[in-house]
């Protein structure tokens, strides 16, 4: 089978890792890396054996697939250029800045027969994959995603930067319409919201309580799930899953009729697995594991959280924290 020709558009901090993964995978040739910074493009090109470019239009007709790892404000413009040229796209999250842009990219992907996969990376983490196998009818989900402050990524608020990961997981686990969202948050060290909480109520009665912070002293990524017959607690940093379930005749911690165990998982390489899945879908013509529609649902939910935060500003919030909606370019 002829190797797929790949490119990475945007080779900053995260884009460089994308380029390294493509360069290491069999069945694909990293043809080009694109960045508006010529020095950065040249640096990553030297590391990966690719050709450096500064304009995405320079690679059209020369690549089959591309990762788009530019700032989210450019996702639509870059994605549109690639999809209209018949290039399959792995788009970093969030899929776009607004819902209209996301729908436009989805329509373009269908019109041109292209795979559009969205980079919700947590779905490819081994401990999360196992949690999803055991989850049946969750009725309460609690997620904490905490990180120390870094200036990188502060062009968007913490909801679109971090919480959107857990929004995607909650939507995938519950798979029911949302009835109500209540949110609160505040900026701390940037002009954007740096810490936020959202309570999402689904039509089946499930409630997801999500907290995201990028102003914490330590990193923490945990997700707890309660359902009728089990309690699951995933530590995505420690790569463990605590699984407690009803089991007549057994006991744990003095509790009769309960079985429990801690499962340990390798850290794995979620980005590598995400890219591998993307390439497999391109080769086979099958739908991607995280589709454009999945990215749209996560974005719609995240933007409703942001809308509520902006509508009910807390002390310390100013007009600077408000994001001006952008329309789809003509």
pLDDT in tens, 230-276: 999 999 999 999 999 988 888 888 788 889 999 999 999 999 999 99
* Residue 249 and residue 162 share a domain: yes
Which domain CATH number covers 148? 3.30.360.10
pLDDT for residue 311: 87
pLDDT at 134: 93
Q: What is the mean pLDDT of residues 176-185?
A: 96
My answer on whether 101 and 134 are in the same domain is no
Count of domains forming the chain: 2
pLDDT of residue 317: 53
Q: Is 327 part of a structural domain of the chain? A: no
Helix (H) or strand (E) run with residue 62 in it: none
The distance from CA 161 to its chain's CA centroid, rounded to whole angstroms, is: 9
Tens digit of each residue's pLDDT (9 = 90 or more) over 57-91: 999 999 999 999 999 999 999 999 999 999 999 99
pLDDT at 319 over 70: no
Q: What is the mean pLDDT of residues 101-129?
A: 98
Question: Quick one: pLDDT at residue 228?
Answer: 92
Task: Check whether residue 151 and residue 263 sit in a common domain.
Answer: yes
The yes-or-no verdict on residue 93 having pLDDT over 60 is yes
Does one domain contain both 253 and 277?
no
Same structural domain for residues 135 and 62? no
Which domain CATH number covers 72? 3.40.50.720
Q: 106 and 13 in one domain? A: yes
pLDDT at position 324 is: 35
Task: Answer yes or no: do 150 and 102 share one domain.
Answer: no
Predicted local distance difference test score (pLDDT) of residue 325: 35
Q: Which pLDDT band, with edges at 50, 70 and 90, does 189 fall under?
A: confident
Owning domain of residue 59: 4-119+271-291
User: How many of the other CB atoms lie within 10 Å of CB of 103?
Assistant: 18
Quote the pLDDT of residue 153: 59
Query: In sequence order, which residues have a C-beta less than 8 Å from that of residue 67 and are 6 or more positions away?
Result: 6, 7, 8, 9, 15, 18, 22, 89, 90, 92, 119, 275
pLDDT on residue 314:
57
Instruction: Mark whether 80 and 34 lie in a shared domain.
Output: yes
Judge if 220 and 146 occupy the same domain. Answer: yes
Instruction: Using pLDDT thresholds of 50, 70 and 90, give the confidence band for residue 25.
Output: very high
* 328 band by pLDDT with thresholds 50, 70 and 90: very low
Same domain? For 156 and 217 the reply is: yes
> Looking at the domain assignment, is residue 141 inside a domain?
yes
């Amino acid at each position: 089978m002829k190797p797929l020709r790949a490119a990475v558009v945007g080779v900053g901090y995260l884009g460089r890792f994308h380029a390294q993964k493509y360069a290491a995978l069999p069945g694909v040739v990293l043809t080009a890396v694109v960045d508006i910074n010529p020095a950065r493009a040249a640096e990553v090109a030297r590391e990966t054996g690719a050709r450096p470019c500064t304009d995405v239009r320079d690679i059209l007709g020369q690549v089959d697939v591309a990762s788009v790892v530019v700032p989210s404000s450019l996702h639509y413009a870059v994605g549109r250029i690639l999809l209209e040229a018949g290039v399959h796209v792995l788009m970093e999250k969030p899929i776009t800045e607004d819902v209209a842009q996301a729908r436009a990219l989805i329509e373009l992907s269908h019109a041109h027969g292209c795979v559009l996969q969205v980079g919700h990376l947590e779905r490819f983490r081994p401990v999360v994959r196992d949690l999803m196998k055991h989850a049946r009818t969750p009725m309460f989900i609690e997620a904490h995603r905490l990180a120390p402050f870094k200036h990188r990524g502060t062009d968007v608020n913490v909801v679109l930067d971090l919480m959107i990961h857990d929004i995607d997981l909650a939507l995938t686990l519950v798979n029911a319409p949302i009835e109500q969202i209540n949110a609160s948050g505040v900026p701390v060290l940037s002009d954007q919201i740096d810490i936020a909480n959202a309570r999402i109520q689904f039509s089946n009665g499930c409630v997801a309580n999500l907290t995201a912070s990028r102003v914490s002293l330590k990193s923490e990524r945990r997700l707890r799930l309660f359902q009728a017959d089990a309690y699951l607690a995933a530590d995505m940093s420690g790569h463990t899953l605590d699984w407690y379930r009803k089991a007549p005749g057994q006991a744990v911690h003095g509790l009769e009729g309960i079985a429990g165990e801690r499962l340990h998982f390798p850290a794995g390489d979620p980005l590598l697995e995400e890219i591998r899945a993307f390439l497999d879908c391109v080769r086979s013509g099958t739908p991607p594991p995280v589709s454009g529609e999945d990215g749209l649902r996560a974005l719609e939910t995240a933007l409703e959280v942001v809308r509520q935060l902006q509508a009910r500003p807390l002390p310390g919030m100013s007009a600077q924290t408000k994001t001006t909606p952008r329309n789809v370019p003509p």
